[in-house]
Structure 1
Amino acid sequence: MTDPKQINGFSRFTKDQQRCWLTEHFLRPDQLSELSRFDAEDGKLQDVIDNFSENTVANFPMPFGVAPNFLVDGKVYAVPMVIEESSVVAAASAAAKYWQSRGGFRTEVIASEKLGQLHFRWSGKPERRAALLPALCTRVRASTKSLTERMEARGGGVRNITWKHLPEVSEDCYQLLVSFGTADSMGANFINTVLEAYGQELRRWAVDCPELTAEERDLEVIMAILSNNTPNCVVKAWVECPIEKMAIPVGGVDPFDFARRFKYAVDIAREDPYRAVTHNKGIMNGVDAVVLATGNDFRAIEAATHAFAARDGKYRSLSQCRIDNDVFRFELTLPLALGTVGGLTKLHPLANVALDVLGRPGAHELMGVMAAAGLAQNFAALRSLVTTGIQKGHMKMHLQNILSSLGATATERTRTAEKFNGETVSHHGVREFLEELRREG
């Protein structure tokens, strides 16, 4: 007997039919209304949102916040952040304000190349590659001229082609590793289109290239795809000031002692992978929030970032801290393959708003702002860790989530915040206090 929870043709249902089926088999009847609760009133807008993905039975709202006072390369930004975790926007804002009066954040785009790979089987010998590559490059580039000319007009295009042998996979396994410039677009579709065209031309080359011997004509294209590992699309952000100017707004903390403890904490994350993962997650709290707000791909950014953190064979912190001649310098280096035109950055109305808030930056400018947000978040977290501890600020923000889950009124929120000011916050403790308030009346 077929399980009624199994279904064929679900994607062909209307949205209402999908919602009804889901409610019938997996939800309570009263939950049907929850699926439509956040529908856009504008039908055209809802159509746009539905087409972002497949089988979309509901919208999933996320908070869109703003962290003001970011001074980055001499320009003041209000940084849009989409994130559900308590205290992230508040912490980034506090760090931005702190550094605003100390020179702000400085950034440098070190490189902005993206990579793609064409993998194939070939019967030729590895040593033949050097002789064949120049003519092959000329041929595949010529075959994609119509695909690349518009990107080239914007300053992008194919930068370099390397022919690599991958004997670890198989003796006949090879790849063309292609580097691209994609101007202000993220460029995934452009890169994949060019690589697939290269694959078609590679097949033709194996058939009709006069330089190939009969033994070298056996060639099979396996796959063509961009790489989300982007070690040549990297940005650096840093803050710097004399330690004597680093007064911390926490009673009794000496600036020199704070700087020493701060550097010690960063050094731990440089050497201890267990700490480094948590340390880098904090950085990505800030980075991912801006990635989401601007309609970029946070999954690609995350994958590239963690590969970059382990590039020397050991997983390390992405940020570093130095103290030279009583000058404190805190810096972050990470890969950010971003776009400010095309894709979701154009289609999502709030991504458009986010880019307007930022002043319509190009990709390089956005890389700098995003890195500054990650560094700010990292600074705020470490400042708490080496002074008051992370939970004081975090649980203050989390208290509001607890109160929401318990249906607290505005008055109850105020009374509870007063009660737990300076005290440990727990769900159990808050619930007991609310119950006592409600008994009183």
Structure 2
Amino acid sequence: MYLCALKFHIMITPISGFSKLSKEEKIDWLSQTYLAHNTNARKILTQYWNPDSGLQQLHEEFTENTLSNYYLPFGLAPNFLINDRLYAVPMAIEESSVIAAASKAAKFWSDRGGFKAEVLGTEKIGQVHFMYSGDGKKLEHFFNSIKSTLLEAVAPLTKNMEKRGGGVMNMELRDKTKLLDNYYQLHCTFETKDSMGANFINSCLERFAETFREAAKSHEAFNATEKEIEIVMSILSNYVPGCIVKAEVSCPVTALADQGMSGEDFAAKFVRALKIAEVEPYRAVTHNKGIMNGIDAVVLATGNDFRAVEAGIHAYASKDGKYSSLTHAEVHDGQFRFWMEIPLALGTVGGLTALHPLSKIALEILQKPSAEELMKIVAVAGLAQNFAAVKSLITTGIQQGHMKMHLMNILNQFQATTQEKEVLTSYFKNHNVSHSAVEQQLEKLRS
């Protein structure tokens, strides 16, 4: 006999005008429609409001249909020596052991000369994608004749950016018809200085597209069909291989001796671990995720777009046709070297960096960096996190340190009291942490 568990769903009808409801009315509808059996839902949603501080309205204006605020821990990793300057790096992240690991790596390398970081380029990219079914030679001639007009069309938009040393750096016509019939693009590069520049770039691209299309309608060399250039879209790219920062550390191999392991053995195991991540995509993804633990935490803390950063960096990891490690290591003439080059499009003015109070604090902690300085700091945070992770993997294993940091999460899952937390925190200083071990010890304590 087979037993079948039936799950009954409440019949729900679409709602009109949800965005026009007040926050309280939205929660009323949600509570009645999807959370009818959760008596704590309203309390949970409202306990994260900031009604008296002025923050609530600010948060609600960041996005749409706001119900509450979703908090993440805002922590600090001190002792980052970068280009002979000491930083304390703010991080917004919920994952256990990330901040602790980054801090430990920062201290490790501060005793060995610190991190070196260098911005190799700050070029950002935007594209106007369009379709054209006519003669490619005519299109090329038309583009060359209209290019100066296109740049003049965005002059009102670029005026202030140019005063800061930025603006449109180049524009070229690219023929993509071998990939897709009739597909061309205007490939544009930009310098946006301390701004991440998304709105600036997109505004310029839309003006390019409008001017390009209208000029084609009156171009004397085009026939009636060729005049119909169809603009598909105008949008920046989050893949920025010309906006690159390099971060690295180095020291004599002998200075790597740690936990009873010689420096030579440590270096050999470390380099071998990175070689595996270079050739094995399954390992590379997790390896690079560890880098992003450090990068995303600083990007988020400073009010930057971590989703754009993630997309660009993972694309860069595949630039040679195969997904691979972003970090590399070598030993040469008795020197250990560990480095990374990654694309990072960041800003320190505009957007959330100028609005979110904690983002402002984060940038103050970092001594009000320029966009280039922030690129260096963020890259170093990723490199430090990766060093800490690989170091754990080739020595004690990743779980020993991670699970000790995860202990408090497990205790909170079991609703441990303050006294129980104190007792078990002391116990697990000398015992391996696992979910089952914590559960067993908590049962003993309670019995």
TM-score bracket, shorter-length normalisation: over 0.9
Rounded to whole Å, the distance in 1 between the matches of 2:108 and 2:180 is: 55
Matched residue, 2:369: 361
**Residue type matched to 1:102 in 2?**
R
Equivalent pair of 2:89/2:298 in contact (CA under 8 Å): yes
Q: CA deviation at 1:23?
A: 1.2
Matched residue, 2:5: none
**Residue 62 of structure 1, aligned match among 34, 55, 72:** 72
Q: CA deviation at 1:179?
A: 0.5
Q: CA deviation at 1:131?
A: 2.9
**Residue type matched to 2:145 in 1?**
A
Equivalent pair of 2:254/2:262 in contact (CA under 8 Å): no
Matched residue, 1:320: 328
Q: CA deviation at 1:210?
A: 3.7
Q: CA deviation at 1:425?
A: 1.7
**Residue 414 of structure 1, aligned match among 422, 437, 446:** 422
1:212-291, aligned counterparts within 5 Å? 212-248=222-258, 250=259, 252-291=260-299
Q: CA deviation at 1:344?
A: 0.6
Rounded to whole Å, the distance in 1 between the matches of 2:108 and 2:139 is: 55
CA displacement 1:280-339 (0-9 Å, x = unmatched): 000000000000000001111111011000001010000000110010000011110001
Matched residue, 1:344: 352
Equivalent pair of 2:253/2:267 in contact (CA under 8 Å): yes
Gaps of 5+ in 2: 1-9
TM-score, normalisation: structure 2: 0.95
Q: Secondary structure at the match of 1:366?
A: helix
CA displacement 1:123-157 (0-9 Å, x = unmatched): 33223344333322101101111011111111110
**Residue 141 of structure 1, aligned match among 141, 145, 151:** 151
Q: Secondary structure at the match of 1:304?
A: helix
Q: Secondary structure at the match of 1:29?
A: coil
CA displacement 1:95-121 (0-9 Å, x = unmatched): 000000111110111111111010112
Q: Secondary structure at the match of 1:167?
A: coil
Matched residue, 2:6: none
Q: Tell me, yes or no, if structure 1 residue 404 matches structure 2 residue 427.
A: no
Please say which of residues 70-79 and 130-139 is displaced more in the overlay: 130-139
1:29-68, aligned counterparts within 5 Å? 29-42=39-52, 44-68=54-78
Q: Secondary structure at the match of 2:251?
A: strand
State the percentage of identical aligned residues. Answer: 49
Matched residue, 1:121: 131
Q: CA deviation at 1:76?
A: 0.5
**Residue 329 of structure 1, aligned match among 313, 319, 337:** 337
Equivalent pair of 2:257/2:266 in contact (CA under 8 Å): no
**Residue type matched to 2:391 in 1?**
R
Matched residue, 2:3: none
TM-score, normalisation: structure 1: 0.96
Q: CA deviation at 1:434?
A: 1.4
Rounded to whole Å, the distance in 1 between the matches of 2:51 and 2:224 is: 65
Q: Secondary structure at the match of 1:111?
A: coil
Q: CA RMSD in A?
A: 1.4
- Give the number of equivalent residue pairs: 436
Please say which of residues 129-138 and 179-188 is displaced more in the overlay: 129-138
Gaps of 5+ in 1: none
Rounded to whole Å, the distance in 2 between the matches of 1:246 and 1:416 is: 34
Q: Tell me, yes or no, if structure 1 residue 293 matches structure 2 residue 301.
A: yes
Rounded to whole Å, the distance in 2 between the matches of 1:428 and 1:246 is: 35
